[in-house]
A and B are shown apart, each in its own frame.
Chain A
Amino acid sequence: MEQYRLELKHVSKSFGEVKALEDINFQLGRNEIVGLLGDNGAGKSTLIKIITGYHQPTSGEIFFNGQKVDHLTVPKARQLGVETVYQERALAELQTLWRNIFLGREITSKLGFLDIQQMRDETHRLMSQSMGFTSHAVVPDSRVGKYSGGEKQGVAIVRALFFNADIVILDEPTMGLSLKETAKLVNFVKGIKQAGKSAIFIDHNILHVYNVADRVVVIDRGKVAGEFMPKNIGLTELMDKMVRVAETGSLN
């Protein structure tokens, strides 16, 4: 039997009285890109935050590479190879670029002292070589708050990639991006697949997801409403179904 990179079994999450997720079963295969669709408040972000260890599920099990993982935390999920480009980008805008790239996992000595030169070196290399940023504004010591939306997104993406992710999660990555930047991003997601990694791609825009994903999972009101293979379903049909599910709660 093929082993999934990531599997959720019967995962539920409640915030007090509110049931954000109910009995979610979700799989992410090796070298697969799964698109996650759903209306606002359907539970996409909660699902993501469970996978990244930010929220703990109320009930249910999480498996990484077939191994059950209890008490998933953000550092633990990272060790397991999960990297996230958050909707809110998770940047500290008053701080310099290199501090943002290494946010939460600074290169330090055993006693916790920072190796600043190495972090600046790596940042410079990543931004200029991997991302092709040539702007004078985007240097290791500049403040992230001054960057454009696309540049900020670039920082969040570089950060996810630098740390050798097996699973890259992109939460609404096209939000606030220009057309050109969006095209770049779609290419980049395709690149994740070529590199043999897996990704979960969340977006409002069905078109972006449809073009990139191997499989589309539709979430509605905290439940998995259905799954589609883009190669088996037309874009218009998928859109019709999405509207129907939002209105009636049923795909057909």
Chain B
Amino acid sequence: MNSQTNATAPEITQHYRVPFSLRRFFRTNSTQLGILGVFLALWLIFIIAAPKTFLSKQIYFAFMSSIPFFAIMAIPLTTIVIAKEMDLSFPSTMGMGMVAFYYAYVGTAFIPNPTIRVFLAIVASLLTGALIGWLNGFIIVKFGLPSMVVTIGTQFLWRGADLVLTQGGNFSLEYIKQTIFYPLLVGKIGGYFPMQMVWLIVATIVGWVLMNRHKFGAHIYLIGDNANSAELMGINTGRTRIQAFMLVGLVAAFAGLLYSFYVAYFWPTVGDGYMLSTLASVFLGGTSVFGGVGTVLGTFLGAFIIGSIEAATVAVGLTGFWTQFIYGMIIVISVIMHTYLRKRAD
């Protein structure tokens, strides 16, 4: 040990670099490569078992059309789980976002231009989502409550508020079709490529940058790993966690918009079926429920596995009854695989 108490760092002339080694690449990316392996293996099985379906383009456009609705929420949810928190209120946040959208549109009837009205309604919806996320985070941080319990509560609370405010009614959103926002959110590029897939890719890239190249992500990993250390070293763990919850709320409201625009209809129950597939995407993607470990790209692949199983089950010739059984099997096997890979990497 050197007794020099440091001080000014000498100019660094040579960067610290490690020569590329395939072994280390496999070790440091084992989680993502693991899920990629599962993804490719399943794909191969699908192609062999149902070549007619899985060698045609249509099925992939169908996947890209339906999977983003829940996959996009799995991205910020990954952040929450890495921070060793949980959010179960995103399905009803989708609903509340749409309630805000609906009332903002109805309430701005004095504005003649529908594009401006829809724009304001979109802003209202996103703000509502972020606010719900903020409230989740605030309650969890301020009262020191477990996030799982709080968000079970708010999941019921906001779905309830949603149903009360709409009186269970559902409304046509035909009017959005005459605005630019319809093609922007759920249109098809060149008549094929769904815009919601573009939004999912954007969300994944933004999520990756935030988690890997930004202070926010660095702090999220540290909080999930050891919140006490993070606190001792001066990280504002409360604020960072609240920001993460706001992100989930914001994206959930956006997912609500995507789905409702897609069907041009507002169902107050929007999002109800997405709870388990979204959570499964996160865990299938290799994010650890114990915190501190996980990747956005893993979640992205996880979502596509989850989203394709149902179609694949039917295409392969099994009845729809098999879907959940196969879901369960793939999830359990993948989670065991992740634990095994993680142990080996250490």
B346 touches A103 (CB 8 A): no
Q: Is B258 located at the chain interface by the 8 A CB criterion?
A: no
B7 touches A164 (CB 8 A): yes
B346 touches A130 (CB 8 A): no
Q: A94-B225, A140-B16 in contact; A162/B6 too (CB < 8 A)?
A: yes
Give the complex CA separation of A123 and B12 in angstroms: 12
Q: Is A239 located at the chain interface by the 8 A CB criterion?
A: no
Set of chain B residues within 8 Å of A164, measured between Cβ atoms: 6-7
A92 touches B225 (CB 8 A): yes
Q: A112-B216, A121-B15 in contact; A91/B235 too (CB < 8 A)?
A: no
List CB contacts (< 8 Å) of A127-153 with chain B.
129-132, 139-141, 143, 145-146
B5 touches A104 (CB 8 A): no
Interface stretch of the complex, out of B41-49, B183-191, B226-234: B226-234
List CB contacts (< 8 Å) of B1-58 with chain A.
1-7, 9-10, 12, 15-16, 18, 28
Shortest CB-to-CB span from A50 to chain B, Å, is: 13
Q: Is B70 located at the chain interface by the 8 A CB criterion?
A: no
A105 touches B234 (CB 8 A): yes
Of residues A86, A112, A129, A197, which shows the largest number of chain B Cβ atoms within 10 Å of its Cβ?
A: A112
A75 touches B234 (CB 8 A): yes
Interface stretch of the complex, out of A61-69, A185-193, A225-233: A185-193
Shortest CB-to-CB span from B342 to chain A, Å, is: 9
1/0 contact string of A106-139 vs chain B (CB within 8 Å): 1010001110111011111110011110000001
Set of chain B residues within 8 Å of A130, measured between Cβ atoms: 2, 4, 6
Q: How many pairs of A and B residues are in contact by the CB < 8 Å rule?
A: 126
B235 touches A104 (CB 8 A): yes
Set of chain A residues within 8 Å of B346, measured between Cβ atoms: 143, 145-146
List CB contacts (< 8 Å) of B226-247 with chain A.
226, 228-235
Q: Is B214 located at the chain interface by the 8 A CB criterion?
A: yes
Set of chain B residues within 8 Å of A129, measured between Cβ atoms: 2
Closest to B10 in A: A125
Q: Is B99 located at the chain interface by the 8 A CB criterion?
A: no
Of residues B16, B213, B292, which shows the largest number of chain A Cβ atoms within 10 Å of its Cβ?
A: B16
Shortest CB-to-CB span from A212 to chain B, Å, is: 13
Closest to B291 in A: A94
Q: Is A235 located at the chain interface by the 8 A CB criterion?
A: no
Q: Is A74 located at the chain interface by the 8 A CB criterion?
A: yes
Q: Is A90 located at the chain interface by the 8 A CB criterion?
A: yes
Closest to A128 in B: B16
Set of chain B residues within 8 Å of A18, measured between Cβ atoms: none
Set of chain B residues within 8 Å of A44, measured between Cβ atoms: none
Q: Is A59 located at the chain interface by the 8 A CB criterion?
A: no
Chain B interface mostly? loop
Set of chain A residues within 8 Å of B226, measured between Cβ atoms: 90-93
Closest to A98 in B: B16
Q: A93-B225, A125-B12, A161-B5 in contact; A106/B292 too (CB < 8 A)?
A: no
Q: Is B293 located at the chain interface by the 8 A CB criterion?
A: yes
Closest to A140 in B: B16
Give the complex CA separation of A52 and B232 in angstroms: 9
Closest to A181 in B: B1
Q: Is B149 located at the chain interface by the 8 A CB criterion?
A: no
Give the complex CA separation of A89 and B225 in angstroms: 14
A184 touches B222 (CB 8 A): no
Closest to A116 in B: B213
Give the complex CA separation of A92 and B227 in angstroms: 9
B1 touches A131 (CB 8 A): yes
1/0 contact string of A4-43 vs chain B (CB within 8 Å): 0000000000000000000000000000000000000000
Set of chain B residues within 8 Å of A54, measured between Cβ atoms: 231-232
B1 touches A132 (CB 8 A): yes
Q: Is B215 located at the chain interface by the 8 A CB criterion?
A: yes
A94 touches B292 (CB 8 A): yes
List CB contacts (< 8 Å) of A192-219 with chain B.
192, 194-195, 197
Interchain CB contact (< 8 A) of A90 among B16, B18, B215, B229? B229
A95 touches B292 (CB 8 A): yes
Set of chain B residues within 8 Å of A161, measured between Cβ atoms: 5-6
Give the complex CA separation of A164 and B5 in angstroms: 8
A122 touches B9 (CB 8 A): yes
Q: Is B218 located at the chain interface by the 8 A CB criterion?
A: yes
The 4 closest A-B pairs by CB, nearest first: A191-B3, A195-B5, A74-B234, A104-B233
Given contacts A132-B2, A191-B3, A191-B5, 19 further A-B contacts (CB under 8 A): A73-B234, A74-B232, A90-B232, A94-B292, A95-B225, A99-B218, A103-B230, A113-B213, A113-B214, A121-B15, A122-B12, A132-B1, A141-B28, A154-B1, A161-B5, A164-B7, A165-B5, A184-B1, A197-B5
9 A–B contact pairs at CB < 8 A? A78-B234, A92-B229, A92-B230, A95-B221, A99-B218, A113-B214, A114-B213, A130-B6, A191-B3
